Structure 1
Amino acid sequence: MTVFSRRLLITAAASALLLGCSKTETPAPQASAPAADPAAAAPAPALPAKIVIGLDDNFPPMGFKDEKGQLVGFDIDMAREAAKRLNIEVEFKPIDWNAKEAELKGKRVDALWNGLTITDERKQNIAFSAPYMENHQIIVVKADSAIKTKPDLAGKVVGVQDGSSAVDAVNKDAELAAKFKELKKFGDNVTALMDLSAGRLDAVVVDEVVGRYYVAKKAAEYSVLDDNFGTEEYGVGFRLDDKPLVEAFDKALGEMKADGSGAKIAEQWFGKNILK
């Protein structure tokens, strides 16, 4: 082999070696990261810093003004404790209870918390919390009244608070209600009971929590019949689209029931635990 041929062979071998070293390998495809779940990543809706609670301020012992003009009552204390646990400021606003659904829908208040009865009809316009207590629509008469049973109300003048559950309860017993001489509606239960005392009414149908509160104050003047117009449940009312707020207050009320703080509030106002 000549010197020239040897040089050509060495050069060719070197070129082949360089080409082999410079070859680029295609990287193996990387597995794609799993897509994030939008539902899992979404933060929980923030609760408002403050809510306005609408109430009837003449509905003792649930909510009313004391001798100093301050709003007090069982539902007031329950609402304050629940809002405190949720770190929400609460304002109480007296409203026309007969227009409560319009006040809520119009966003003049954010909740209704004042012995609000849960009914199928109201559920069409109101989102309710879980029920927190039971109540009856009792019949209050004067202590010396000849009325002893529901049928005795035939031909009598019966009073109710306008816009209250007593109206619905009486109307459900349509056969008996048709026999009343008159179903007279009042702006509040206090006025109705005053008319009963004055003899302008024969009976008053009223929420048990309210009726017994007043009867206890004047035990010698009033009597409560064994018959009543049915059992109902109380709940807190919110707007239909306020589901996060409903869930938050359900949780707070559940905690209050579990740790005994709700029972303590009930005992202060009723002398016993009446929470459901």
Structure 2
Amino acid sequence: MLTILWAGSGHAEETLMVGVLADNPPMVFRDADTKFVGYDVDVLQEVGRRIGKTMQFKVINWDQKTEELNGKQIDVIASGLSITEERKKIYAFTDPVVQKYTQMLIVNTASPIKARDDLGGKTVCVMEGASAGELVQDFRSASGQTAKVQTAPTMEGCLIQLTAGETDSAVMDGVTCEYYIKHNPGQFRIVPGALSKRQTAFALRLEDRALLGTFNDALKAMEADGTMKRLRERWLGDIN
């Protein structure tokens, strides 16, 4: 399991361990030098600078993120984490860092699937532990056939299944779909129509109220001075 410790880290009490996915562009991913980059990375680095903490990034099994957080193996969950009512019961969410985060269907370019209704009786891959799984249950054809959920440990794993013809479609974040389409020309396309629109934030333990307050103070200051706008424009374009 890869961890990246950024330069300038101090004592353990000055470090926050952030649990992330390794393949969630443009939120969190690795560049050619295996260094973590992306929108969430830049936002957290700036938050850390303002609150006097070093952010250490650790790749986690997304399906085990809650156990990692409550077991104090990590202190923060990042990687485009959607805010849902169920998750509010188990996490202390920071203020939103993305206001309009869509989830989309991606298929192979040559696929006959043109709309969500075409997925009745077909397979849809979702990442283990992702909130997208609940959406697939509503996919059904005019004849009433429902879609079948297939899982993979990572988003990239779903795309590998899709490329190999092992699944008919995959659900993932819209900005991630666009990233993979751009970097794999001719391979994939998005099925029209957003499946959901949600906000994303960072998640802390419910009991870490003081830390949550410092995070939100930093995020508010970053909104006020234009830092968040600059980072959104750099990584997310015009989605926010």
Please indicate, yes or no, whether the TM-score normalized by the shorter chain is above 0.5.
Answer: yes
Alpha-carbon separation, structure 1, partners of 2:163 and 2:233: 29
2:31 aligns with 66
Helix, strand or coil: the match of 2:132?
helix
Residue from 71, 74, 78 that aligns with 2:43: 78
Do residues 167 (structure 1) and 133 (structure 2) align? yes
| Structure 1: gaps of 5 or more residues | 1-47
The question of whether the paired residues in 2 share the 8 Å contact of 1:139 and 1:224 is answered with yes
Alpha-carbon separation, structure 2, partners of 1:202 and 1:148: 12
1:154 aligns with 120
| Structure 2: gaps of 5 or more residues | 1-12
Helix, strand or coil: the match of 1:102?
helix
Alpha-carbon separation, structure 2, partners of 1:179 and 1:163: 25
Helix, strand or coil: the match of 1:52?
strand
Residue from 191, 205, 209 that aligns with 1:243: 209
The question of whether the paired residues in 1 share the 8 Å contact of 2:139 and 2:146 is answered with no
CA distances 1:215-256 after superposition (whole Å, capped 9, x unpaired): 122242211122232111101100001111111111111221
Residue from 105, 114, 119 that aligns with 2:79: 114
Alpha-carbon distance, 1:175 to partner: 5.7
Aligned residues: 225
Within 5 Å, give how 1:2-81 maps onto structure 2: 49-81=14-46
Helix, strand or coil: the match of 2:73?
coil
Q: Which stretches of structure 1, 4 residues or longer, exceed 4 Å deviation after superposition?
A: none
What value does the CA root-mean-square deviation take over the aligned residues?
1.8
Change (3 A) 1:273 1:255: farther
Alpha-carbon separation, structure 2, partners of 1:174 and 1:224: 16
Residue from 140, 154, 172 that aligns with 1:188: 154
1:197 aligns with 163
Helix, strand or coil: the match of 1:165?
coil
Identical positions, percent = 32
CA distances 1:168-222 after superposition (whole Å, capped 9, x unpaired): 3324x2767x834531100111121122122222111111121111112224221
Alpha-carbon distance, 1:107 to partner: 0.8
Helix, strand or coil: the match of 2:96?
coil
Alpha-carbon distance, 1:160 to partner: 1.0
Alpha-carbon separation, structure 1, partners of 2:181 and 2:120: 23
Alpha-carbon separation, structure 1, partners of 2:39 and 2:29: 9
Structure 2 counterpart of 1:95, one-letter code = I
Residue from 39, 52, 61 that aligns with 1:96: 61
Bigger Cα Rg: 1
Helix, strand or coil: the match of 1:121?
helix
Change (3 A) 1:247 1:273: farther
Report the structure, 1 or 2, having the larger helix content: 1
Alpha-carbon separation, structure 1, partners of 2:125 and 2:57: 28
The question of whether the paired residues in 2 share the 8 Å contact of 1:170 and 1:229 is answered with no
CA distances 1:64-92 after superposition (whole Å, capped 9, x unpaired): 22222222221111100111011112211
Structure 2 counterpart of 1:232, one-letter code = R
Alpha-carbon separation, structure 1, partners of 2:140 and 2:123: 15
Do residues 179 (structure 1) and 129 (structure 2) align? no
CA distances 1:127-150 after superposition (whole Å, capped 9, x unpaired): 101112121110111222221111
Residue from 77, 89, 103 that aligns with 1:137: 103
Report the structure, 1 or 2, having the larger strand content: 2
Alpha-carbon separation, structure 1, partners of 2:228 and 2:25: 18
